[in-house]
Structure 1
């Protein structure tokens, strides 16, 4: 009986080929990968995701408006907004006693748009 090879193993490939070298050069290092993982972790919570999409739709909202839009208590929204602001995903401005929140930049908008478009594909849900 012949030798059994793993189904996902390479046979005769050069692991240090030019292709592998190019890929290695463009894969994020551990620090950058950690930052990216944290960003995706932020989207891993239903409340945070709904809040971000509310901001995407409205442009700018205060805590009480966010609370009403996503049907989450204001205290939870305030806590979530502190986390999102600290992570650089949202920005804010103060107008009197009210604080208005918005998505930090167009990159966050694009990320949310692309994610929603992706989940709209057949077989994703």
Structure 2
């Protein structure tokens, strides 16, 4: 009996490959990465607070948040006229964390315990 050892969706022929590429494309923007990092450290933040944290204007951040919301990476809660954003789940945050760790390895600043031995 042949048992496929790769979980569903993780083979090169997976129907999810193109969708995974879209996820990476969504995160291929420094402002969006900063937004994800800011939200991973908070339960939720307003557009104005996120703008302060990422160093961009509120309208610019709002546009990025709209894209992240369409991609279902963030969700909202309204309180009066203020909209608060939060990560929908941990997956976008984990992707960004892994990308930052990869970047640390590329430039040689990864913590020693995470570097592979030669």
Structures share fold, TM-score greater than 0.5: yes
Contact residue 36 and residue 92 of structure 2 kept, 8 A: no
Measured at CA, do residues 79 and 124 of structure 1 come closer, stay the same or move farther in structure 2, by a change above 3 Å? farther
Alignment of 1:73-84 (within 5 A): 73-84=57-68
What corresponds to 1:114 in structure 2?
98
The total of aligned residue pairs comes to: 104
For each residue in 1:26-45, what CA deviation from the matched residue of structure 2 results, as whole angstroms up to 9, or x when unmatched? Answer: 2243x421211111011111
1:40 equivalent among 24, 49, 67: 24
Quick check: which has more Rg, 1 or 2? 1
Instruction: Measure, in 2, the Cα distance between the counterparts of 1:59 and 1:119.
Output: 26
CA RMSD of aligned residues (A): 2.4
Instruction: Measure, in 2, the Cα distance between the counterparts of 1:109 and 1:72.
Output: 20
- Segments of structure 2 that go 5 or more residues without pairing to the other structure are 110-118
Using structure 2 for the length normalisation, give the TM-score: 0.75
For each residue in 1:41-98, what CA deviation from the matched residue of structure 2 results, as whole angstroms up to 9, or x when unmatched? Answer: 1111111111111111223110000011111011111111111000011111111111
Q: Are 2:81 and 1:97 aligned? A: yes
Q: Are 2:60 and 1:66 aligned? A: no
- Segments of structure 1 that go 5 or more residues without pairing to the other structure are 1-17
Using structure 1 for the length normalisation, give the TM-score: 0.71
Question: As a proportion of its length, which structure holds more helix?
Answer: 1
Query: How far 1:22 sits from its partner (Å)?
Result: 7.2
